[in-house]
Structure 1
Amino acid sequence: MKQELTALVAAIRAQPWAIMPDYLNAIEAIALRALDEDVLRRVAQDGHVPRLEANLSAVAAVGTRLEGTGMSTIRDGTAVVPMFGPIFPRASMVNASTDGTSLDAYMRDIRVAQASTDVTRIVTLVDSPGGVVSGLGEAAETLRASAKPITAFVTGNCASAAYWLCSQVREIVLDRSAAVGSIGVVASMSRQEVADVNGRRSYEIVSSNAPDKRPDPSTEEGRASIQTEIDAVETLFIEDVANGRGVSVDHVRAEFGRGALVSAKRAIAAGMADRVGTLEGVLTEESGRTRKTGAGRSARATAEIEARRRAAMRN
């Protein structure tokens, strides 16, 4: 059993994540059944549990189940597709334990809503710390190319991988207490430095022509290899955000939080989101509202001008 859990943690650490750091630590702790870990207590205190319960109740109260979906509803032509908790590529024990979202199931619901003749617009209800990078690029392209308007309503956090996805939709509306951002990529790994409790030491040997297959984070060369990998993913992340939000890559790097979560008012001023609203307000709006008009466009233009002014002053 111990070997199986060790292998599970190794699998978790084998790929980059776009997620808030405490949540990645919590996922590893859950995988190890280390339920007394302090990180789980910190994550529990961020308020996501009562928010999750309220969000699930909100989805259940919105219309009726959309036929062919696993977790979505429909009301007056509007499909509501939830994105709650950590995002994983597909259903697993870990995402079930963390009240997470399967990206595969989420995108399946999106495609069903896009194909349904009963659906004229889509609202994705979001409260997520982010998740695994795998599959996000393709999912982002699908959301960006949607023929039906998609609005993201953020009720809690829309962080990292979740923001990567939501930055591609037509409009982002925030609850007044919501936060967005945490743009960046992290790799989590460890290497045994001393003998374990059983008196054995773990070793890894890779083939001669694959030195970067298992980079050693304790060496400068290993860290550089890992840094190159996660920076490449971050570049794709930032480029997608820039395309989705209609701003430059430089603007995203400078003004979109630099890896931090950004509160609603600041996020709208920077062009990361469009406006503050309520779920009921979003659901009762006419379909077809475009993100490129009104306060959202003005805020982004102002923020872009300010970013250029700062750059000119630095030069």
Structure 2
Amino acid sequence: MNNRVLAAIRSQPWAILPEYMDAIEAIASRAFDNPAVIGVELDGHADRMAEAIAEMGAPFPGARSAAIRDGVASLPLFGPIFPRANMMTEMSGASSLATLAADFRKVEASPEVRNILIVADSPGGVITDVRAFAALVAGSSKPVTVFASGLCCSAAYHICSQATEIVADPFALIGSIGVMMSGSVQEAPDSNGARAVHVVSSNAPDKRVDLSTDEGQAKVREMIDGIEEVFLSDVARGRKVPVSTVKRDFGRGGTKSARQAKEAGMIDRVEAGGLAAVLQRLARPSRSATPRRAAAALSLEVAQMRAASFTTGD
């Protein structure tokens, strides 16, 4: 069973921090004492998630994970990202894009919601449906702000780059833009003395490439480079910069601190006050310039009437 799960993990591209990829594979193999698993358990994300949920407000009616507070609807983008609910989303705090998309549509349609806030602490995840959810964010009829409380990386950054504004905690890590696939190379027969052999048809030599060769790795890299092109293009459009800027300044696959990300143009603001400060700012009613213009026009009209009255002697 574990081998089938591991094979499924390795059969698709991921946009995720490499250390989380290692942890997911170790969990699938039930190697819970793996250093990658221990590192993820100790990185503080569980505490950050609990604190964020407590601050986000009351559960939004009819939604699975959204909350509302003072006209601000918050959605949690926590943990590894998957297209649909699964064991990890139900038990390990991972995010289901199907659930988030349904909640996003509900809060966007609600007249009680003025602003939408995505609270992000995610290393990224599977690329399936990431672009579709990012399009929801980009096309929102209401302002969408992102607050990165911890990690806003890879697939999570792809989504968040489409928001109206990205705000980050001073200790947040931003970036890890890129796509990866993992695999294994059998160096010797397994414990049963067997070696896996795969035979493909004559006109499909790239259906099962040999990852132990440079040629095989090049074939996989060619495929994920094509996916990366779309990733970079979407980020560039969301952040309103050329693709060349994303390639040069947005970390080259690595992560940046919140301050460094702000300097590079990857985010808009560093918020020392954390999530509470962001919620407070978004909850303030927007001030319209119309009343000021109306008052100025009225003052001008009164002044003109007085001037006319003085001239005519009325």
TM-score by length of 2: 0.86
Q: Give a deviation string over 1:238-258, Cα, whole Å, max 9, x none.
A: 111100001110001100111
What is the CA–CA distance in structure 1 between the aligned matches of 2:255 and 2:210, rounded to whole Å?
30
Match status 1:281 vs 2:294: no
What is aligned with 2:55? 58
What is the CA–CA distance in structure 2 between the aligned matches of 1:83 and 1:188, rounded to whole Å?
24
What is aligned with 1:102? 96
Contact kept in structure 2, 1:121 and 1:287, CA below 8 Å: no
Q: Give a deviation string over 1:251-305, Cα, whole Å, max 9, x none.
A: 011001111111111111111000112322222224679xxxxxxxxxxxxxxxx
What is the CA–CA distance in structure 2 between the aligned matches of 1:10 and 1:288, rounded to whole Å?
51
Q: 1:203 to 1:94 in 2, by over 3 A?
A: farther
Match status 1:199 vs 2:196: no
Moved more, 200-209 or 264-273: 200-209
What is the CA–CA distance in structure 1 between the aligned matches of 2:40 and 2:76, rounded to whole Å?
21
Give the percent of matched residue pairs that are identical in Structure 1 and Structure 2: 47
What is the CA–CA distance in structure 2 between the aligned matches of 1:77 and 1:143, rounded to whole Å?
18
Q: 1:287 to 1:273 in 2, by over 3 A?
A: farther
How far did residue 161 of structure 1 move? 0.6
What is aligned with 2:64? 70
TM-score by length of 1: 0.86
Indicate the structure (1 or 2) with the bigger Cα radius of gyration: 2
Moved more, 176-185 or 280-289: 280-289
Match status 1:162 vs 2:156: yes
Contact kept in structure 2, 1:18 and 1:130, CA below 8 Å: yes
What is aligned with 2:205? 211
C-alpha RMSD over aligned residues: 1.6
Q: Name the SS of the counterpart of 1:43 in structure 2.
A: helix
Q: 1:226 to 1:115 in 2, by over 3 A?
A: same
Q: 1:288 to 1:136 in 2, by over 3 A?
A: farther
How far did residue 224 of structure 1 move? 1.2
- Read off the aligned partner of 2:241 and give its amino acid letter: V
Q: 1:204 to 1:94 in 2, by over 3 A?
A: farther
- Read off the aligned partner of 2:53 and give its amino acid letter: L
Q: Give a deviation string over 1:125-181, Cα, whole Å, max 9, x none.
A: 111111111111221112111111100011111011100000000000111111211
Aligned partner (choices 15, 20, 34) of residue 37 of structure 1: 34
What is the CA–CA distance in structure 2 between the aligned matches of 1:219 and 1:208, rounded to whole Å?
19
What is aligned with 1:243? 237
Match status 1:141 vs 2:135: yes
How many residue pairs get aligned? The number is 283
What is the CA–CA distance in structure 2 between the aligned matches of 1:68 and 1:244, rounded to whole Å?
30
- Read off the aligned partner of 1:231 and give its amino acid letter: D
Match status 1:47 vs 2:44: yes
- Read off the aligned partner of 1:191 and give its amino acid letter: V
Q: Which runs of 4+ in 1 moved over 4 A?
A: none
For structure 2, the residue ranges without an aligned partner over 5 or more in a row are: 288-314
How far did residue 89 of structure 1 move? 1.0
Match status 1:272 vs 2:266: yes
Contact kept in structure 1, 2:55 and 2:276, CA below 8 Å: no
Contact kept in structure 2, 1:268 and 1:274, CA below 8 Å: yes
Contact kept in structure 2, 1:121 and 1:288, CA below 8 Å: no
Aligned partner (choices 151, 173, 192) of residue 179 of structure 1: 173
Q: 1:110 to 1:247 in 2, by over 3 A?
A: same
